[in-house]
Amino acid sequence: MISVGIDAGSATTKAVLVDSKVMVVSKNIIACAICPTGFDFIAAAQKAYEDVIEKAGIEKKDVDNVYSTGYGRNSIEFADKAISEITAHARGVYYLYPDVKGIIDIGGQDSKVISVNNGKVSDFLMNDKCAAGTGKFLEYTARALEVPIDELGSLALAATKPANITSMCTVFAESEVISLRTRGLAKEDIAAGLIESIARRVAVMSRQIGLKENIAFVGGVAKNDGIRKALEKELKLSLFVPQKPQMTGALGAALHDIR
């Protein structure tokens, strides 16, 4: 059985194609694809779907099931079923790390902490009311620092005295960054302060649902080494980070009917 999972995120749309026959002898997925979401969830999902099929070297008629997840999952009309991103991430992470007990997912519009048991969700907390602690927070504050968001993590790692960022509101934090720059603080120290403020917020959420060990860090922000190291420092443990952490939701959706 060939299945495709499509994760329609606020910033990017991801697709993963799996074949249950291949998975009997190998844990490898067949293909994956990613593209910007933009303003049209349907168009982005269609592009990711077509790209992943092309990479797999098959045709649409060969696909048995298409499952959608993520922020825009209900917009993807050609999907056979929409799956909660909480469930999809739990399934995808369990496939990669069967011993994981918890998941931290920081995406573009929200951040989630999930407690899992054998791939099943036992509890979760989600911050989706504001941009604090999300990729959007990093995007706005990186802009205020006038640095590419991809360089924010490495910039933070070069800090000697991280700034004290008091606001977690994106609008106020952006103003605070500008104020700190005016006072002459180094960009590295401001970047470190921003990242540490996110790590503290997510660590508090993690403790609230009892995450203590075997935690995976996923989502696009997990590619940021500065955030990962700040989280590990706050949680006092090492995190599991997949090679492509932004793909676990799409992977979990693709695996929905594969046991």
Q: Is the pLDDT of residue 124 over 80?
A: yes
**CA-CA distance, 244 to 32, in Å (whole number)?**
10
Number of domains in the chain: 2
Q: What is the pLDDT of residues 40-83, one digit of tens each?
A: 999 999 999 999 999 999 999 999 999 999 989 999 999 999 99
Q: Is the pLDDT of residue 167 over 70?
A: no
Predicted pLDDT of residue 130: 59
Confidence of residue 14 (pLDDT cuts 50, 70, 90): very high
Q: Is the pLDDT of residue 27 over 70?
A: no
Residue 113: inside a domain: no
Beta-bridge partner residues of 67: 5, 81
Matching residue, tokens 């902490």: 113
Output the 3-class SS for the chain: CEEEEEEECCCEEEEEEEEHHHHCCCCCCCEEEEEECCCCHHHHHHHHHHHHHHHHCCCHHHCCEEEEECCCHHHCCCCCEECCHHHHHHHHHHHHCCCCCEEEEECCCCEEEEEEECCEEEEEEEECCCCCCCHHHHHHHHHHHCCCHHHHHHHHHCCCCCCCCCCCCHHHHHHHHHHHHHCCCCHHHHHHHHHHHHHHHHHHHHHHCCCCCCEEEECHHHHCHHHHHHHHHHHCCCCECCCCHHHHHHHHHHCCCCC
Residues 172, 208, 190, CA angle at the centre, nearest 5°? 30
Residue 160: inside a domain: yes
**CA-CA distance, 116 to 119, in Å (whole number)?**
6
Predicted pLDDT of residue 125: 92
Q: Is the pLDDT of residue 155 over 80?
A: yes
193, 157 Cβ separation under 8 angstroms: no
In terms of domains, do 129 and 214 share one? yes
Q: What is the pLDDT of residues 179-212, one digit of tens each?
A: 888 888 899 999 898 888 888 889 999 999 999 9
147, 187 Cβ separation under 8 angstroms: yes
Q: What value does the mean pLDDT take over residues 120-128?
A: 87
Predicted pLDDT of residue 250: 97
Predicted pLDDT of residue 133: 62
Q: What is the CATH number of the domain that holds 137?
A: 3.30.420.40
Q: What value does the mean pLDDT take over residues 164-183?
A: 77
Q: Is the pLDDT of residue 213 over 90?
A: yes
In terms of domains, do 210 and 250 share one? no
Confidence of residue 139 (pLDDT cuts 50, 70, 90): confident
In terms of domains, do 75 and 154 share one? no
CA 142 to chain centre: 18
In terms of domains, do 153 and 177 share one? yes
Residue 53: inside a domain: yes
Measured CA to CA in angstroms, residue 235 lies from 17, 215, 258 at distances of: 34, 10, 33
Tokens of 195: 């990242």
CA 253 to chain centre: 14
**pTM (two decimals):** 0.89
Beta-bridge partner residues of 8: 13
**CA-CA distance, 6 to 67, in Å (whole number)?**
6
Residue 102: inside a domain: no
Q: What value does the mean pLDDT take over residues 11-21?
A: 91
In terms of domains, do 211 and 250 share one? no
Tokens of 6: 């499509």
In terms of domains, do 132 and 217 share one? yes
Q: What value does the mean pLDDT take over residues 162-189?
A: 80
Q: With left for phi above 0 and alpha for psi between -120 and 50, is residue 169 left, alpha or beta?
A: beta
Predicted pLDDT of residue 23: 67
In terms of domains, do 17 and 50 share one? yes
Predicted pLDDT of residue 25: 46
In terms of domains, do 64 and 132 share one? no
Q: What value does the mean pLDDT take over residues 12-35?
A: 83
Predicted pLDDT of residue 109: 74
**CA-CA distance, 76 to 72, in Å (whole number)?**
7
Confidence of residue 138 (pLDDT cuts 50, 70, 90): confident
Residue 228: inside a domain: yes
Residue 91: inside a domain: yes
In terms of domains, do 161 and 203 share one? yes
Residue 143: inside a domain: yes
In terms of domains, do 80 and 136 share one? no
Quote the domain boundaries for residue 37: 2-97+246-254
Q: What is the pLDDT of residues 224-243, one digit of tens each?
A: 888 999 999 999 999 999 99
Predicted pLDDT of residue 234: 93
Residue 208: inside a domain: yes
Q: What percent of the chain has pLDDT over 90?
A: 56
